[in-house]
A and B are shown apart, each in its own frame.
Chain A
Amino acid sequence: DTAVSQTPKYLVTQMGNDKSIKCEQNLGHDTMYWYKQDSKKFLKIMFSYNNKELIINETVPNRFSPKSPDKAHLNLHINSLELGDSAVYFCASSQAKGPKLFFGSGTQLSVL
Chain B
Amino acid sequence: DQQVKQNSPSLSVQEGRISILNCDYTNSMFDYFLWYKKYPAEGPTFLISISSIKDKNEDGRFTVFLNKSAKHLSLHIVPSQPGDSAVYFCAASVQGGSEKLVFGKGTKLTVNP
Does A pair with B?
A: yes
Taking Cβ atoms with an 8 Å cutoff, the residues of A that contact B are: 4, 31, 33, 40-45, 48, 55, 90, 92, 94, 97-106
Is B98 within 8 A of A41, CB to CB?
A: no
Q: Which residue of B lies closest to A95 (CB)?
A: B98
Bound complex: CA of A23 vs CA of B107, how far in Å?
27
Contacting residues of chain B (49-98) with chain A, CB-CB under 8 angstroms: 49, 89, 91, 93, 96-98
Q: Which residue of A lies closest to B93 (CB)?
A: A99
> Can you report 21 residue pairs joining A to B where beta carbons are below 8 Å apart?
A31-B98, A33-B98, A42-B103, A55-B99, A90-B43, A94-B98, A97-B98, A98-B98, A99-B32, A99-B93, A99-B96, A101-B98, A101-B101, A102-B45, A102-B46, A105-B41, A105-B42, A105-B43, A106-B41, A106-B42, A106-B43
Count of residues in B whose CB is under 8 Å from the partner chain = 21
Which 5 interchain pairs have the tightest Cβ spacing?
A103-B43, A43-B103, A99-B93, A41-B105, A99-B98
Q: Would you call B109 an interface residue if the criterion is a C-beta within 8 Å of the partner chain's C-beta atoms?
A: no
Bound complex: CA of A97 vs CA of B80, how far in Å?
32
Is B105 within 8 A of A40, CB to CB?
A: yes
Beyond A42-B103, A45-B99, A100-B49, 15 extra complex contacts between A and B, CB < 8 Å: A43-B44, A43-B103, A45-B101, A48-B99, A90-B43, A98-B98, A99-B32, A99-B98, A100-B34, A101-B44, A101-B46, A101-B98, A101-B101, A103-B44, A106-B41
* Interface of A (DSSP majority class): strand
Q: Which residues from chain A contact B98 at a C-beta distance below 8 Å?
A: 31, 33, 48, 94, 97-99, 101
Contacting residues of chain B (8-63) with chain A, CB-CB under 8 angstroms: 32, 34, 36, 41-46, 49
Minimum C-beta distance from A99 to chain B (A): 4
Is B106 within 8 A of A41, CB to CB?
A: yes
Taking Cβ atoms with an 8 Å cutoff, the residues of B that contact A are: 32, 34, 36, 41-46, 49, 89, 91, 93, 96-99, 101, 103, 105-106
